[in-house]
Amino acid sequence: MKKSKLQSKRTTCTPDPQLIGEVQSVLRGRIFRGDVPAELHGLDEQKRELLDLIKRCAQYGESNSVLLIGPRGSGKSLLVKTILEELSKTKGVRQNMLEVNLNGLAQTDDRSALLEITRQLQLENTVGDKVFGSFAENLAFLLDSLKSGGQESQSILFILDEFDLFTNHKNQSLLYNLFDVSQSAQTPLCVIGLTCRLDVVELLEKRVKSRFSHRQIHLFNSETFEDYLQVVRSVLTLPSNFKDRHFVQTWSSHIKELLEDREAQAVLKQQFSITKDIRSLHRLLTIPVCSLSQDHPFIEPKDLVDAQTKLGVDCKAAMLCGISVLELCLIIAMKHLITIYDGEPFNFEMVYKEYQKFAQKKGFTVQSFEKPVVLKAFEHLTALEFVKSIDSIAKNTPKEYRLVTLLIDPIQINDALQRYPDCPTEVKQWAMSAIV
Amino acid sequence: MAANGGFLGYSKDSLQNLYSKVICRKIEIDTLLSLLGDRKSYSCPAIFVCGHTATGKSFLVQTLLKDLELPHVLVNCVESFTARLIFEHVLYQLQDSDKEDDLTASPKCDNMTDFLRHLKHNLLSKDLANETFYIVLDKAERLRDIEANMLPAFLRLQELTQLNICVILLSQIVWEKFQVGTGFYEPIVMHFLDYSKTEVLQIMARDCPATYPEEFFKAYCQLLMSVFYSVCKDLNELRHLALLHFPKYCEPITSGEAQLTDSRKLWRNIEPHLKKALHTVYLREVSSNQWENIIGQDTQTGCENLPGQGISVRSHIELPYYAKYLLIASYLASYNPAHTDRRFFTKQGRRGLSNRAKAAAKAKKSNTQLTGPKNFQLDRLMAIFYSIVEENVAPSANILCQISSLVSLNLLAQITSDDQIDCPKYKCLVNFLSISEIAKQLQFDIVQYLYDFV
């Protein structure tokens, strides 16, 4: 019944390729670039708190420091982005505030962070893109200009992404200075740190910690499945200012149908039980969104199922199917060694002996290979990191005697054996039997 | 199915061209294209492509980017082994296409902040701001060893620069092995399945020399694979071997002994060579040039024994008389447990082990041949040395020098650090074959002295 309804709808609406392109660009922007969707879910309280804080800094010259803590993909950057977008509309706030964005991944030491700050604040000692002066000069200059200000001067908003990486800097001098300025009555500063480490306060030095306001905003994905469906809806809905009104209607009715579909719900439910993280939801939606085309203008439940099976592929098991028979034999020999000796590390000689016990049995069609050939296969497995050497002083031992461990689960091996193309029967039987 | 006319704004011809160049990879091309989207649209920030060697990862990505004329930079992480080299390589490539720029002035950039700024500057100045810019990092597993922040930073390059950038990572190691620390932006993982047997044949058939029909070459490849496929699935290796042995395979035809259809005769001719090649060429004991020579000579003289004189056979080195004895002594010290020394090397022991001792040795097999060499002290080495050398040797500096030269030749390994001259420990790194070779030169029966062989 439902199918025929869908079919009829598709024929009535004639999707224009340009239209599909626009839909894609909207959705791609949201999924890939982190564009702000129409509504934020479950972040209202946090948003109010942070907004209030920034506003006070901009309007009354209050200095503040705050840490946003939440797991990856819980919307920390998105929250900041939304708030800044909102603030940019209110004129009084925007004019009164400068913004400095730093990222712990990019600014790996205090020196580069300092240069970046000077550059973003467009201070006098910069000409074009270049910054002059040594590190000490720079710091002194920056501090002077920060300290010379008072309550009435323009406030500065520092956004430190990957805050935990800034704690690795030497002496944490950047953090110390920032927090110090925010504690004393100088230029109003608002320091916002974004991090995914819960124990980030413990990483701070004592003097830095004492200057930090200990205000933390936690963002946890605490939504229920119903909320989760709402998030999916808000990611997929087209914005209200979309050009073609008629298409928006058909699109939203399609999305509604999609979310009510039992198959699609099962997929989403499974994804929800793996992780509530929105970013992995984006990853799930990536392939369906990307494959929208003129012939296929709407997301169907089948797409979601396909995407999930594609994402759920166990790469290691798939890689196992690509190795040669000889390498597979070695892996089985290792599996036997592990079961016999209870997970003890082993070396090539032991594996070779185990392999020979099998390969030299009479009547088997599996070829028995010479030691150098087998060693080459063994080294290939090491290169693929299926096998890992455990002693660090590997240089002092001949290759054949280096102790290694197997990094594949026996279940994965059994799985791969079932799917291995043209696997010799003896090998299969050997894998099943514990001892030959 | 997805590749209808004008798919994603790329012309149909160039796509058809692409499909014909990269065969057996249609699904992967389509997925990749849909992820990348057209020129203007936002593409996926990071894509991780994994698969075995020779599954066409680099080839596919490179031809795709080149044929569709997308702006991109290729970086090999083996070649660019530090962060600085990667940054400068990317920036240099960007600068390169700009004709007016002074080519001699290579960009200087040694940290991430500068890199981001330069990248932004370059892209914006070259009107690439609207188009997606691709950075392909080949052998991405090396990125893990460079700096802790390199991989996460490259994965969120789009967010850091606020530009439309897509990073494609190519590796043969699965994604789980890249995850460390507090995690980072997860890329879309694409897995390239390996070619099936028929696909391998199809690809290998493209190498067919023009003078022979393709079916004939295919049949030959099938024969080759029957020997090699269970050892090696690497397409590059198989293609190399196929081209190497093809002249030999065709020999009966050129000499007029057989017809093209005479497959059994051809097989009988080539089979022994292929089997020998498995032990020599495949292990690179003989270089391909040498192998060609060997095969060539073989037919002239008609002798069958030669192939097989590889590197490993010639691997023994000439050592001085005492150094040989030292090496043997070290081997005995490494592979025999210390408590058996009395039996082997004292006067009472010389009479041979008692039956009871032999039985005991059998019962608790020490199996050093399986577990590898053990460490020993210098004193023990010298004691065994004096016991096995028949004449009187003065413990001069020369003897001790020989030990350190054996260490520098990598025949012995010194376990303790260099500054400890008190009581250094060593380990023997020579395998059983070479040591028995050396023992034979000295007419010393080593098997008699080894606990494992009692």
CB contact under 8 A, A279 and B186: yes
If we measure between CA atoms, which residue out of A366, A361, A360 comes closest to residue A325? A366
Q: Give A72: exposed, middle or buried? Use CB within 10 Å, 0-12, 13-18, 19+.
A: middle
Out of A77, A106, A398, name the one closest to residue B372 (CB).
Answer: A398
Judge: A107–B113 Cβ closer than 8 Å, yes or no: yes
Contact B42 A280 (CB under 8 A): no
Q: Give me the residues of A, 314-343, that contact B with CB < 8 A.
A: 315-316, 318-319, 321-326
CB < 8 Å to A329, chain B = none
Q: Which among A316, A350, A384 has the least Cβ separation from residue B370?
A: A350
Query: Per-residue confidence at A394, pLDDT binned at 50, 70, 90?
Result: low
**Residue of chain B whose alpha carbon sits nearest to that of A20:** B8
CB-CB: which of B43, B194, B373 is closest to A32?
Answer: B43
Instruction: Choose among B161, B3, B150, B2: nearest CA to B83.
Output: B150
H helix runs in A224-277, sequence order: 225-236, 245-260, 262-274
Say if residue A370's pLDDT is above 70: yes
Q: pLDDT by residue (tens digit) across B130-177?
A: 888 999 999 999 998 888 889 999 999 998 988 889 999 999 999 989
Cβ–Cβ under 8 Å, residues B368 and A398: no
Q: Which residues of A touch B122 (CB under 8 A)?
A: none
The band of B116, judged by pLDDT with boundaries at 50, 70 and 90, is very high
Angle at B417 between CA B412 and CA B418, to 5 degrees: 80
Reading phi first (left if > 0) and then psi (alpha if -120 to 50, else beta), residue A61 is in: left
Q: Are the Cβ atoms of B282 and A376 closer than 8 angstroms?
A: yes
What residues of B are in contact with residue A330 (Cβ under 8 Å)?
A: none
Neighboring chain B residues of A401 at a CB cutoff of 8 Å:
371-373
Q: CB count, 10 Å around CB of A341? A: 11
* pLDDT per position as a tens digit, B91-107: 988 875 555 555 556 77
According to DSSP, the residues that pair with A127 across neighbouring strands are A130
- Mean pLDDT confidence for A333-361: 90
Rounded to the nearest angstrom, the gap between the alpha carbon of residue A101 and the centroid of all alpha carbons in its chain is: 20
A45-82: pLDDT as tens digits: 889 999 999 888 888 888 889 999 998 888 888 899 88
Q: Do A293 and B7 touch (CB under 8 A)?
A: yes
| Residue B285 with chain A: CB contacts under 8 Å | 372
Q: How many CB pairs under 8 A join A and B?
A: 173
Q: What residues of B are in contact with residue A324 (Cβ under 8 Å)?
A: 229-233
- Of A354-358, A366-370, B141-145, B203-207, least confident by mean pLDDT is A366-370
Look at strands B72-76 and B133-138 and give their pairing: parallel
Residues from chain A contacting residue B37 (CB–CB below 8 Å) = 24, 28, 290
Alpha-carbon distance of A193 to B152, in angstroms, equals: 18
A contact residues 196-225, partner B, Cβ 8 Å cutoff: 196-197
Name the minimum distance, in Å, from the CA of B277 to any CA of chain A: 11
A residues 387-416 closer than 8 Å to B (CB): 395-398, 400-401
pLDDT at residue B331 above 90?
Answer: yes
d(CA B64, CA B11): 13
The pLDDT value recorded for residue A374 is: 92
Q: Please give the share of chain B, as a percent, with pLDDT higher than 90.
A: 23
State ipTM: 0.89
> Exposure pattern of B62-91 as b/e (b: 16+ CB <10 Å)?
bbbbeebebbbbbbbbeebeebeebbbbbb
What average pLDDT does range A220-234 have in this prediction?
Answer: 85
Summarised one tens digit per residue, pLDDT across range B349-396 is: 555 556 666 666 665 655 777 888 888 999 999 999 998 888 888 888
Task: Tell me the pLDDT band of A209, cut-offs 50, 70 and 90.
Answer: very high
Question: How is A369-406 classified by DSSP, letter by letter?
Answer: --HHHHHHHHHHHHHTTSEEE--S-GGGS-GGG--EEE
Nearest CA in chain B to A398: B429
Residues paired with residue B412 on neighbouring β-strands, in sequence order: B428
CA pair distance B423, B375, nearest whole angstrom: 12
Chain B residues with beta carbon closer than 8 angstroms to that of A72: 182-184
Contact: B197, A377; criterion CB under 8 Å:
no
Q: Which residue from B minimizes the CA distance to A316?
A: B174
Number of DSSP helices (H) and strands (E) in chain B, helices first:
21, 8
Mean of all residue pLDDT scores within chain B: 83
Interchain contact, B7 vs A109, CB within 8 Å: no
- Reported as a pLDDT band with limits 50, 70 and 90, residue B303 is very low
**Which residues from A are below 8 Å from B114, CB to CB?**
112
**Does residue A422 sit at the B interface (CB-CB below 8 Å)?**
yes
Chain A residue with the nearest C-alpha to that of B154: A105
Interchain pair B156, A105: CB under 8 A: yes
A100 sits in which H/E element: strand A97-103
Q: Is B230–A293 a contact, with Cβ atoms under 8 angstroms apart?
A: no
Which residue has better confidence, B452 or B23?
Answer: B23
Of A119, A291, A401, nearest to B34 by CB-CB distance is A291
- Looking at the DSSP assignment, which residues form a beta bridge with residue B428? B412
Tens digits of residue pLDDT in B222-249 = 888 888 888 888 899 899 889 888 888 8
Chain A residues with CB-CB distance to B232 below 8 A: 324
Instruction: Give the chain A residue nearest B414 (alpha carbons).
Output: A396
Residue B74 — very low, low, confident or very high, per pLDDT cuts 50/70/90? very high
pLDDT digits (tens, 9 = 90+) for A298-321: 888 898 999 999 888 888 888 898
pLDDT for B304: 42
How many angstroms away from the CA of A129 is the closest CA of chain B? 9
Q: From chain B, pick out residues whose CB is under 8 angstroms from the CB of A159.
A: none
The DSSP-derived string for B290-310 is HHHHHHHHHHHH---S-TT--
Question: What is the per-residue burial (b if ≥16 Cβ within 10 Å, else e) of A351-366?
Answer: bbebbeebbeeeeeeb
CB atoms within 10 A of CB B174: 22
Which of B149, B161, B171, B331 is the best substitution to test chain A (most A C-beta atoms within 10 A)?
A: B149
Q: Which residues of B touch A352 (CB under 8 A)?
A: none
What is the nearest CA distance from B35 to chain A, expressed in angstroms?
A: 6
Model confidence pLDDT, tens digit, residues B128-137 = 778 889 999 9
Chain A: nearest CA to B71, how far in angstroms?
A: 19
pLDDT, residue B267, reads 86
A94 vs A156, higher pLDDT: A156
Q: Is the pLDDT of residue A148 over 80?
A: no
Q: Cβ B372–A401 below 8 Å, yes or no?
A: yes
Comparing CA positions, the residue from A389, A400, A388, A377 lying closest to residue A328 is A377
Token pair, residue A434, equals 């514990």
* DSSP β-ladder status, B425-428 and B412-414: antiparallel
Chain A environment of B233 (Cβ under 8 Å): 322-324
Of A28, A311, A401, the CB nearest to B41: A28
